[in-house]
Copies of this chain bind each other. A is one copy, B any other.
Amino acid sequence: VKNVLIRKLKRFGPLDERDEILLTEVVSDSRSIAAREDIIHEGERPEKGHLIVSGFGCRYKVLPNGTRQVVGCLIPGDFIHLQRSLLNEMDHSIGTLSPCIVVDIPRDLVLRLHESTAIAHAFRMVALVDESITREWLASMGRRDALARLGHLLCELFTRYQAVDLVDRGSFEFPMRQTEIAETLGLSNVHVNRVLQELRGLQLIQLKLGKATILDLAQLKVLSGFNPNYLHLGPETQRWDPELAPATRSR
């Protein structure tokens, strides 16, 4: 069974056997972190790269006014500041939202990984996609209302999970509490609650036990104006068939 990492990087080009061995080595030494703990804190000077093997994490900032803003979601296969040259101070923190398995990648291994042209290229692509996602979130914040914002987030996560083959019959891990969703979307927790209900009422989604289920992706996309181009996954994604979703049931 290939690990998420290999699965993910393969999207950006073929990897030879040597690459795969190297990537397997990366994942060999992992550690567990409980839910809602920090992996790195703002102000730290990161010594190593990190990789999320399983679980759900986020990047976040705490503003001078004391509020918190989540600026990115981390799902299995996502890197944390591999590119970051391991040089500068973190300007944001990274924490877990569910129990995570994380790999620490020591500096020299990072360098060895970069020696493979294919891997280095894939890394660069990954970094570009991260950037691109942040820009899309920015657009979402600025120009989508609460309903579309929430729908858009769910479409994105669905698509990203799908890209690492972690969607099971329309469902994927989604451990965020409503307050955390609010901190992600720039809303209040109360409003998130209401918008969530609306989406449920429309039979578009279902949240339960730390998992989200998309009941009608096509409609959710329309409602939120979701266009996956910014994820740069190539045309071969989006092959999920809405018919395979669990039958909608009256709440």
Contacts and interface: CB of A to CB of B under 8 A. Distances in A.
Contacts of A41: none
A160 interface: no
Interface stretch (A1-9, A20-28, A63-71, A96-104): A63-71
A137 interface: yes
Interface in A67-98: 67-69, 71-72, 83-85, 87-89, 91-92
B72 A135 contact: yes
Interface stretch (A161-169, A208-216, A226-234, A236-244): A226-234
Interface residues of A, number: 45
Interface stretch (A49-57, A119-127, A172-180): A119-127
Contacts of A59: 135
Interface in A109-143: 121, 124-125, 127-128, 130-132, 134-139, 141-143
5 contacts: A59-B135, A69-B139, A71-B139, A141-B142, A143-B186
Interface of A: 59, 61, 63-65, 67-69, 71-72, 83-85, 87-89, 91-92, 121, 124-125, 127-128, 130-132, 134-139, 141-144, 148, 183, 185-186, 225, 227, 229-230, 232
The 6 A-B pairs at the shortest CB distance, nearest first, are namely A142-B186, A64-B225, A141-B141, A69-B139, A91-B230, A67-B143
